[in-house]
């Protein structure tokens, strides 16, 4: 079975540009989360989407936006890129996404990431 | 602010020895903790999880210990192998979906 897939693998942009990153979840998973991982640090939560609705957002500016499609794939958009946006962007998918607390079906499985470099 | 951190940024162990990776967390509201392994150029890989109503859980060659009194989590790897070399993260789960990761511990396995 295919795991979480992300595209592109690497991306180079310049300051002020816009970027779109793509993610396909594990088959059967309805929830997608996005994380930013700066070199030498742990991943930082950006968003979670479940059934095409944003369910939660981390401490990131409005330049970051996302959406989820009917097939549960997702796109992360970042506008007006800054040098500090250079990072590995990780997508994670999970299953049922029921509210009320984490269960094993909510475990997030990560893709390989997209390495974004802003010059 | 909330944080999940690690005591040791780098841990070097001899092949075949046991490894212990530690993690301290500051927010006691979570009821779920997860360990991930991240190899160079890859995304984090799920290793093992534990609920806050447990103090120990075992997997294949790995054991996670949770001490809620001192807000401490550890990952024990038995008979460490070269393939275990990676960065290990503990993650605290808030609610259903928000994972809070620490900065990670790099495990180096010496031949």
Looking at residue A39, what is its pLDDT? 86
**Mean pLDDT for chain B overall:** 89
Nearest to A107 among B31, B43, B46 (CB): B46
Asked whether the beta carbons of residue B98 and residue A110 sit closer than 8 angstroms, the reply is: no
- Report the alpha-carbon distance of residue B39 to residue B45 in Å, rounded: 8
DSSP class of residue A15? T
* pLDDT surpasses 60 at B23: yes
Asked whether the beta carbons of residue B98 and residue A106 sit closer than 8 angstroms, the reply is: no
CB A28 within 8 A of CB A82: no
* Structure token digits, residue A45: 């939560």
CA of B82 to nearest chain A CA: how many angstroms apart?
Answer: 21
Quick: pLDDT tens for A50-95: 888 998 899 999 999 999 999 999 999 999 999 999 999 999 999 8
* Structure token digits, residue B46: 């799920």
Q: Which residues of chain B make contact with A42, given a CB cutoff of 8 A? A: 4, 89, 91, 101-104
Strand B19-25's sheet: what is its strand order?
Answer: B4-5, B19-25, B72-77, B62-67, B56-58
Looking at residue A100, what is its pLDDT? 58
A1-5, A109-113, B15-19: lowest mean pLDDT where? A1-5
Asked whether the beta carbons of residue A110 and residue B103 sit closer than 8 angstroms, the reply is: no
Looking at residue A1, what is its pLDDT? 61
Report the pLDDT averaged over residues B73-85: 97
How does residue B82 score in pLDDT terms, banded at 50, 70 and 90? very high
Q: Is B106 on the interface with A (CB under 8 A)?
A: no
Residue B84 DSSP SS3: helix
Looking at residue B48, what is its pLDDT? 96
- Report the alpha-carbon distance of residue A81 to residue A112 in Å, rounded: 22
Q: Which residues of chain A make contact with B40, given a CB cutoff of 8 A? A: none
Looking at residue A97, what is its pLDDT? 56
Of all residues in chain A, what percent carry a pLDDT higher than 70? Answer: 92
* pLDDT surpasses 70 at B1: no
Residue A84 DSSP SS3: helix
How does residue B5 score in pLDDT terms, banded at 50, 70 and 90? very low
How does residue B7 score in pLDDT terms, banded at 50, 70 and 90? very low
């Amino acid at each position: 079975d295919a795991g979480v897939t992300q595209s592109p693998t690497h991306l180079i942009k310049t300051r002020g540009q816009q970027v779109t990153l793509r993610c396909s979840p594990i088959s059967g998973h309805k929830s997608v989360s996005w994380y930013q991982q700066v070199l030498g640090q742990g991943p930082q939560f950006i968003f979670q989407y479940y059934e095409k609705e944003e369910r939660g957002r981390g401490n990131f500016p409005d330049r970051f936006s996302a959406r989820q499609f009917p097939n549960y794939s997702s796109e992360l958009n970042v506008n007006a890129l800054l040098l500090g946006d250079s990072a590995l962007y990780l997508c994670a998918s999970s299953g049922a996404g029921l509210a009320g607390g984490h269960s094993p079906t909510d475990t997030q499985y990560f893709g390989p990431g997209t390495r974004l470099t802003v010059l | 602010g909330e944080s999940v951190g690690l005591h040791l940024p780098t841990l070097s162990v001899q092949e075949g020895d046991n490894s212990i990776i530690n993690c301290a967390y500051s927010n006691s509201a979570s009821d779920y903790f997860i360990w991930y392994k991240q190899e160079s150029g890859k995304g984090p890989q799920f290793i093992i999880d534990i609920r806050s109503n447990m103090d120990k859980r075992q997997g294949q060659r790995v054991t996670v210990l949770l001490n809620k009194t001192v807000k401490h989590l550890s990952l024990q790897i038995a008979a460490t192998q070269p393939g275990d070399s990676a960065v290990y993260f503990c993650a605290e789960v808030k609610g259903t979906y928000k994972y809070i990761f620490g900065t990670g511990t790099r495990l180096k396995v010496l031949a």
